[in-house]
Structure 1
Amino acid sequence: MYEHHSAYHRLRVVDNDGVRTLIFEHNHQSSMHLDDPFESDIEYVGYLHLTLAVKPDAARTLVLGLGGGSVVKRMWRDYPQMRLDVIELDPEVVAIARAFFELPDDPRITVIVEEGRSFVRRAAGPYDIIIVDAFDDDRIPRPLTTEEFLRECRDLLAPGGVIAYNVIGSVRGDDSKPFRSLHRTASNVWRKVWTFTVGSADGSLEHTGNLVMLATDAEVTEDALLERIAVRVGGLVTVPAFERFGDDLYRGSLRTGDVPLITDPPRSGRRERR
């Protein structure tokens, strides 16, 4: 339907069986039902609404990474009190989201073309929710995973605020080290870190797929979080099957002794911590 080589990606928009998909290189980034632009076939999108179980009164959200706008559109529709600042590096992605994926042109959505780290460094908080959903091919850009960046994000969060990461990885097995390293780094910044293995309540924890990681200093216990999920945060969240997402909370041990903290490149005379 549409193809373009931007400065960052080969971008394609494809329609198939009533679903429109945005593809970066070979990876499906966003999808939209043609008969309902707020519905997506990409499962992790709904899991990012778990942030509302931590911060139900969220009024200001920062999203790093736009794609086709699946996350932004649904939050804009479902939470009329919420304003969203959206940071996207590639201007062509913004143009595609508007032209092909019905990204609303609305005062509650501000889209800024900029590298995510540079925006965070200059941003004026506070934000109730920060979502990191940015990818370079199938990996989060390293500058958006370091301890220094996470501390910059923590400084932007309101009291009780929460950051969410969409990660492609696993919690066990050969491909788990990048995620376990991110988890270790986040645990060095926030008191609580929860991981949801998207669609993996069946126990396939070595399978590489989407993981949604929440990190917060909010005064909410794990049991309270699960109770809120089970009742859709008092009916606030309308994402299909949301009440079952708690089944995907990973409660096992996560080895981190064999993975490093992720830090910014060392300056002269400074060594990376391990």
Structure 2
Amino acid sequence: MIKKILSYFVPINIYQKKSEINKTLEVTWTNGELVLDSKNTNYSYGSLQRILRKGLQYIGFERIRKFENVLVLGVAGGSVVKTLVDEIKFKGSITGVELDPTVIEIANTFFGLNQIPNLKIINEDAFEFVLKSKDKYDLIIIDIFQDTKMPNFLFENFFIEKINALLNVNGFILFNTMTLNEDDKNRNMAYRSKFSVDYSVRMYPKVEDHNELFTIKRLK
């Protein structure tokens, strides 16, 4: 409790661990909140939780409560899962896919993800998971970063088509991206153009400064 109070004045690091995938991972008390950070960016909770909560608000909490299956690609510390379960009161099935086993260990130890009964976490590469998955989802949340970098495959036609094939009609994709320069902005515009008239695509720029959100609804 003392560390939590002091964190309103100065961030207090309580845990640090090296990761082969994400380099340095830190758990820190900041402004009375426990957050997970990589070397150069917030990784879970804090600003990232606010970003993804806004995306879920754009889709609509009431609508999400009626969904049956949610897929989260890039779980990290599980902040979006906590928003789904604690704030939205989502009771359906949540499948989380996370590449980094160190992140999963931290998420379970410090953020209690292993105590959420309707969550299943799979330690696997998101591309490989999507490639072989046969299940359908009402909501697919894509939040995949390695520090400030986003893998190129997220923006390639093959991956986009595979994601679309997993989405139910009237379902949504919530895609969190980072735009640090003009190339990133052009990349996002090109991404938007890859969806046909069967999809309704909306972009929300400058969410917490450098993040740009997509909400994509499958119409038929």
Q: TM-score, normalised by structure 1?
A: 0.67
Rounded to whole Å, the distance in 2 between the matches of 1:23 and 1:132 is: 18
Structure 1 segment 129-144 matched on structure 2, within 5 A: 129-144=139-154
Partner of 1:31: 45
Go from structure 1 to structure 2 and tell me whether the alpha carbon gap of 1:173 and 1:91 turns closer, same or farther (over 3 Å shift): closer
Displacement of 1:198: 4.8
Which one-letter code corresponds to 2:179 in the other structure? Answer: G
Structure in which a larger fraction of residues adopt strand: 2
Spell out, residue by residue over 1:205-258, the C-alpha distance to the aligned partner (whole angstroms, 9 max, x if none): xxx511110112227xxxxxxxxxxxxxxxxxxxxxxxxxxxxxxxxxxxxxxx
Which one-letter code corresponds to 1:60 in the other structure? Answer: N
Structure 1 segment 73-88 matched on structure 2, within 5 A: 73-77=82-86, 78-88=88-98
Displacement of 1:199: 4.5
Partner of 2:214: 213
Spell out, residue by residue over 1:165-207, the C-alpha distance to the aligned partner (whole angstroms, 9 max, x if none): 001117x95652222222223x25853210112548xxxxxxx
Rounded to whole Å, the distance in 1 between the matches of 2:99 and 2:201 is: 27
Displacement of 1:66: 1.0
| Matched-pair identity in % | 26
**1:176 match: secondary structure:** helix
Rounded to whole Å, the distance in 2 between the matches of 1:136 and 1:41 is: 14
- For the pair 1:196 / 2:197, whether they are aligned, the reply is no
Answer yes or no: is the 8 Å Cα contact 1:125–1:158 preserved in 2: no
Partner of 1:125: 135
Structure 1 segment 6-45 matched on structure 2, within 5 A: 6-9=19-22, 10-31=24-45, 42-45=49-52
**1:216 match: secondary structure:** strand
Structure 1 segment 152-191 matched on structure 2, within 5 A: 152-169=162-179, 175-185=184-194, 187-188=195-196, 190-191=198-199
Structure 1 segment 46-57 matched on structure 2, within 5 A: 46-49=53-56, 50-52=58-60, 56=64, 57=66
Partner of 1:106: 116
Rounded to whole Å, the distance in 2 between the matches of 1:146 and 1:42 is: 26
Runs of 5+ unmatched residues, structure 2: 1-13
- For the pair 1:115 / 2:125, whether they are aligned, the reply is yes
Which one-letter code corresponds to 2:54 in the other structure? Answer: Y
**2:202 match: secondary structure:** strand
Answer yes or no: is the 8 Å Cα contact 1:116–1:144 preserved in 2: no
Rounded to whole Å, the distance in 1 between the matches of 2:198 and 2:62 is: 14
Structure in which a larger fraction of residues adopt helix: 2
Which one-letter code corresponds to 1:183 in the other structure? Answer: R
**2:188 match: secondary structure:** helix
How many pairs are equivalent?
Answer: 203
When structure 1 is superposed on structure 2, of 100-109 and 131-140 the one drifting more is 100-109
Runs of 5+ unmatched residues, structure 1: 33-39, 201-207, 220-274
Spell out, residue by residue over 1:78-130, the C-alpha distance to the aligned partner (whole angstroms, 9 max, x if none): 23332110000001001111111232523310000000011011112210011
Rounded to whole Å, the distance in 2 between the matches of 1:116 and 1:144 is: 10
**2:134 match: secondary structure:** coil
**2:204 match: secondary structure:** strand
- Which of structures 1 and 2 has the bigger CA Rg? 1
Spell out, residue by residue over 1:40-61, the C-alpha distance to the aligned partner (whole angstroms, 9 max, x if none): 7742121231334795421100
Spell out, residue by residue over 1:123-161, the C-alpha distance to the aligned partner (whole angstroms, 9 max, x if none): 122100111001022132112221111111111111111
